[in-house]
């Protein structure tokens, strides 16, 4: 193998590495987008939750107001009967019943005041949340959009790199590409390892002096005795 082929294989390797890098980035983006969408849904759900809380409080308040109305009607009936009642015992019993109803009303009114306070607090919270919510959702949507743009860009990059690769392959012999693919299957990364300071940058082992001396002289591409990668040496 001559040094032009070696250079072309090195270029091929660079392109393959870039393609893999872009592909692995591409694989991660859909999950990132999914997480952002979940985050957005969480903000929406949280908002819905406080709205429901407020509605429930308002409902409870309404119920207690109706209870008061019932009690007031009962008091009115008791008062009517107090005017017509004959026996003393019955009169006393009605007075007791009236007092109980009045006490219940006071109790309910206290509860309503507490609920109103809660409603006021939650209304404030809702207003604050609305401001934050729109901002947060906008932010998340911007992030999603930029990730979708990134997918487009990365797909373009892959297209360009694939074109570049096709062009480069035209200048390589099929058996050289076959061998390149073969070693690639075994070593996964760096089929061609640049030799740096007598070290194979594929496996980071020092190249035996005999091999290194040969590497300096020969036009042929030698393989690392340790990892089997092609060695590419360029004198500085
Ligand atoms: Zn090696």
Q: Structural domain boundaries of the chain?
A: 19-171, 173-236
CA distance 112 to 167: 80
- Measured distance CA(163)–CA(30) in Å, rounded: 25
Angstrom distance (rounded) from CA 136 to CA 122: 20
> Could you tell me the distance, in angstroms and rounded to a whole number, from the CA of residue 229 to the centre of ligand 1?
6
The pLDDT score that the predictor gives to residue 232 is 85
Q: How confident is the model at residue 169 (pLDDT cuts 50, 70, 90)?
A: very high
| Residue 201 phi, psi dihedral angles, 5° rounding | -80, 5
Give the model's confidence band at 7: pLDDT under 50 very low, under 70 low, under 90 confident, else very high. Answer: confident
In this prediction, residue 22 carries a pLDDT of 97
* pLDDT, tens digit, 9 for 90 and up, residues 107-154: 999 999 999 999 999 999 999 999 899 999 999 999 999 999 999 999
- Residue 164 C-alpha to ligand 1 middle, in angstroms? 27
Residue 199 CA, ligand 1 centroid: distance in Å: 8
Q: What is the mean pLDDT of residues 220-236?
A: 84
Q: How far is the CA of 166 from the centre of ligand 1 (A)?
A: 28
pLDDT surpasses 70 at 213: yes
How far apart CA 139 and CA 137 sit, in angstroms, is 5
Rounded to whole angstroms, how far apart are CA atoms 193 and 216?
15
| Architecture of the 19-171 domain | Orthogonal Bundle (1.10)
Ligand 1 centroid, distance to 169 Cα (angstroms): 25
> Each residue of 42-87: pLDDT tens digit?
999 999 999 999 999 999 999 999 999 999 999 999 999 999 988 9
CA of 202 to the centre of ligand 1 (A): 5
For 200, the enclosing helix (H) or strand (E) is strand 199-200
Tell me the CA–centroid distance for residue 191 and ligand 1, in Å. Answer: 10
pLDDT of residue 236 exceeding 90? no
Give pTM, 2 decimals.
0.69
């Amino acid at each position: 193998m001559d040094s032009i082929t070696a250079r072309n294989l090195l270029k091929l390797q660079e392109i393959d590495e870039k393609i893999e890098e872009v592909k692995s980035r591409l694989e991660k983006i859909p999950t990132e987008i999914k997480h952002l969408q979940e985050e957005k849904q969480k903000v929406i759900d949280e908002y819905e939750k406080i709205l429901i809380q407020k509605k429930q409080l308002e409902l409870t308040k309404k119920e207690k107001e109706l209870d008061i109305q019932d009690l007031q009607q009962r008091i009115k009936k008791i008062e009517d009967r107090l005017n017509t009642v004959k026996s003393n015992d019955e009169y006393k019993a009605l007075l007791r019943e009236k007092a109980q109803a009045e006490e219940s009303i006071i109790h309910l009114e206290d509860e309503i005041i507490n609920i109103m306070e809660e409603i006021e607090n939650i209304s404030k919270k809702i207003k604050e949340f609305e401001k934050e919510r729109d901002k947060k959702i906008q932010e998340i949507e911007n992030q999603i959009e930029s990730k979708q743009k990134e997918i487009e860009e990365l797909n373009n990059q892959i297209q360009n790199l694939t074109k570049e690769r096709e062009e480069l392959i035209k200048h390589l012999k099929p058996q050289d590409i076959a061998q390149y693919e073969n070693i690639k299957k075994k070593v996964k990364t760096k089929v061609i390892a640049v030799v740096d300071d007598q070290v194979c940058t594929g496996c980071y082992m020092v190249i035996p002096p005999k091999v290194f001396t040969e590497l300096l002289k020969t036009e042929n591409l030698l393989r690392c005795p340790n990892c089997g990668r092609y060695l590419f040496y360029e004198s500085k």
